[in-house]
Chain A
Amino acid sequence: MLDTKPAFILKKASLSALVALVLFSLMIGLRTEAGPEGKLIYWTRFGDLATIVAIVFGGSIVIELLRQWIGPVGAAALVPAWLQKLMDFVGRWLGPALLGFAILVPVIFYDQRYILDLAILVLTYVMLGWGLNVVVGLAGLLDLGYVAFYAVGAYSYALLATTFGLSFWICLPLAGILAAFWGVLLGFPVLRLRGDYLAIVTLAFGEIIRLVLINWQDFTGGPNGISGIPRPSFFGIPLTADEDGFAARFGLEFSPTHRVVFLFYVILAMALLTNWVTIRLRRLPIGRAWEALREDEVACRALGINITATKLTAFATGAMFGGFAGAFFATRQGFISPESFTFQESALVLAIVVLGGMGSQLGVALAAVAMIGGFELFRGLDQYRMLVFGFAMVLLMIWRPRGLVGHRAPTVFLKQSRAISSDLVKEGHG
């Protein structure tokens, strides 16, 4: 149980202030500079030092109070009943409300191209996050090379469309299948690896794919990438200003926004499909086997579960969703190059999954909105953007160490479905 006494909080704050005093007394309290004659001169800035220490002291009290309010398990008693009720209410309706809002985004922001583009980007990451969630959140396999499947999907679509002239809707499943195939290929060598070793090999796999894309010039176009990737059509009707285009056919005035709105609904539908399949899979034996694998691999073997097949299906399913997202990315951009598939992307998607609360669908969606949208939100802060963003992340991880949604919902229940605290849920080890 957390100590709630003011004395405890004051003691903690004093300690923090003391540390700050020691740390900053030299860094801020004393200022040295080379004088005009090359001699070192120094002067004191005790006023600034006192301000910093006071901020640390006050901030520490605030953080401690907040921590005990929204804090870890066991702190619920501190939250007043009405607030708890409100939070339960919000928790129940947040998912449907978000979905409703997502559907209405193109209506509300029809004239704001920037917001529509941002929404498409966010949804792409939501989909990637949900895909990686299968591998990391459910099966507990730490995959640092997820971007490889994104790249496979994107290049599959780009090459199939530019070489054979296949349409987006035919290429989409093909891209998914190819990515799943590569998922299985990656799965085989790493079956026996666990934890850090698995992470390093998947990281290397992501890099290998990227390097192949750069160096296999005559196939992938190398660093120049592939341009002129066909845009998706509205079920056969191109979204252009031509006579047989979408606008002309439906008697509308042509607007480039039509395509953006269409793309928005395509990625929304794809993301929702990912979500639906994942939720469904969790309730099937394969999904339960993934979660059991994350909890205890040895026990799974004793229960007759084929570990190899279970891990490979997890890799393949996650990769498939990544491939779909990649194909969408290619058709939206119209141009792809290996630069879009760096480790940075893998790290970002993994951060979304971890921040969301591993295994939680709603959490991942919230985290994608926070990471991608939040990052854009701080754009006005110029050079402090990264700093503020990083600080926000650190704070979030202090209050919610197990992610935004810190509990697991059971897949089956007899009388009442009770959320399981994430303290009990394992992160998986391989």
Chain B
Amino acid sequence: MSGQILAVDRLSMRFGGIVAVNELSFEAERRKITALIGPNGAGKTTVFNCITGFYKPTSGAIHLTHEDGSAFALERLNDFRISKQAKVARTFQNIRLFPGMTALENLMVAQHNALMRASGLTFLGLIGASSWRQAEQRAIDLATVWLKRVGLIDRADDAAGNLPYGDQRRLEIARAMCTEPALLCLDEPAAGLNARESGALSELLLSIRSEHGTSILLIEHDMSVVMEISDHVVVMDYGVKIAEGTPQQVRDDPKVIAAYLGADEQEARAMMETGS
């Protein structure tokens, strides 16, 4: 089944007098990769924080629909419930792993809610019930699968803070996937990666989409990644949507070029016409 997974409706976010996001509406299709791009300060991360519950939007609605038809109004859910119930996972622009815990432990923490149920709210786990031990083994197995997928299986027992930067980025994605999300929100996953690493990242994201059926919402500055993997691109500038469409359509949109070059629309149009 396809259709939309996420519908953002007239979302506004004000911080005092500053309007970070103004009446933004867009949709994300199920099992597709939707990219949110725009110049620095366009309000992309604010939109992300509204979707993942770190900010409460000033006005507007964010609807999330699961494949089984259950719907959630994300603007009303508490932060941790967005991950627990609505199954929205996210990563952070500046990586937020648990540096003093091993890679494996990071992925185990991500399965907290499932494990909490299995441990009978700790009491079954405390007496070492066999049902708990099986559940723990399953959790380790799931973590192992993801460690293999992101190529970190050999570093499973190393502290996350000791991993190289690129590995930390991939581990954060693996951790988000261990919550078994319906929608995965990635905030600049390719930032700081070299060309080879961002190529591998694109492959990973494409395989997450096709093999797990997880929908992906992506903020990214690396245009090669955006153009290669996105099915749909939404462009923001100064808190409003200025364009959307396929990567090709967006690339040729004069408004987008104007926003990125800092020129006004007329100049951009003229530039395009002269072919420079």
**A412 close to B80 (CB less than 8 A):** no
Among B53, B92, B157, contact of A410 (Cβ-Cβ < 8 Å): B157
Q: Which of B54, B89, B100, B157 contacts A295 (CB 8 A)?
A: B100
Report A173 CB to chain B, min CB distance, Å.
15
Partner of A296, one of B52, B80, B96: B96
A281 within 8 A of B: yes
Given the complex, which residues of A lie within 8 Å of B111, measured CB to CB? Answer: 285
Q: Is B83's CB under 8 angstroms from A304's CB?
A: yes
B170 at the interface (CB under 8 A from A): no
In the complex, what distance in Å separates the CA atom of A143 from the CA atom of B263? Answer: 55
CA distance A412 to B139 in the complex (A): 11
B24 within 8 A of A: no
A99 to B100, CA, bound (A): 28
Cβ of A307 and Cβ of B108 under 8 Å apart? Answer: no
CA distance A414 to B157 in the complex (A): 7
Partner of B157, one of A281, A307, A415, A421: A415
Interface residue? A370 (CB, 8 A) = no
Tell me the bound Cα distance from A280 to B126 in angstroms. 6
Convert A383-420 into 0s and 1s, putting 1 for each residue whose CB lies closer than 8 angstroms to a CB of B. 00000000000000000000000001011111111101
**Contact between A412 and B104, CB atoms less than 8 A apart:** yes
Q: Contact between A288 and B112 (Cβ–Cβ < 8 Å)?
A: yes
Q: Known interface pairs A291-B98, A296-B98, A412-B108. Does A286 touch B80 (Cβ–Cβ under 8 Å)?
A: no
A426 located at the interface, meaning its Cβ lies under 8 Å from any Cβ of chain B in the complex: yes
Do residues A281 and B122 form an inter-chain contact, with CB atoms below 8 A? yes
B158 on the A face (CB < 8 A): yes
Are A284 and B83 in contact, CB atoms less than 8 angstroms apart?
no
Q: Which of B112, B157, B158, B159 contacts A289 (CB 8 A)?
A: B112
What 1/0 flags go to A338-351 for Cβ under 8 Å of B? 00000000000000
- A299-B97 contact in complex given A288-B112, A304-B179, A305-B109, C-beta closer than 8 Å: yes
Query: Contact: B52 with A302, CB < 8 Å?
Result: yes
CA distance A296 to B83 in the complex (A): 16
- The 12 sampled A-B contact pairs (Cβ below 8 Å) are A295-B99, A301-B83, A302-B83, A302-B90, A303-B89, A305-B112, A408-B100, A410-B102, A414-B140, A416-B157, A424-B100, A426-B100
Which B residues form the contact surface with A (CB < 8 A)?
52-54, 79-84, 89-90, 92, 96-102, 104-105, 108-113, 115-116, 119, 122, 125-126, 140, 144, 153, 156-159, 161-162, 175-176, 179
Inter-chain pairs besides A413-B157, A420-B100, A421-B159, 15 sampled, C-beta below 8 Å: A280-B125, A280-B126, A285-B115, A302-B176, A303-B112, A304-B112, A304-B179, A410-B104, A410-B157, A413-B104, A415-B156, A415-B157, A418-B102, A420-B159, A424-B100
User: Which A residues are closer than 8 A to B by beta carbons?
Assistant: 277, 280-281, 284-286, 288-289, 291-292, 295-296, 298-307, 313, 408, 410-418, 420-422, 424-426
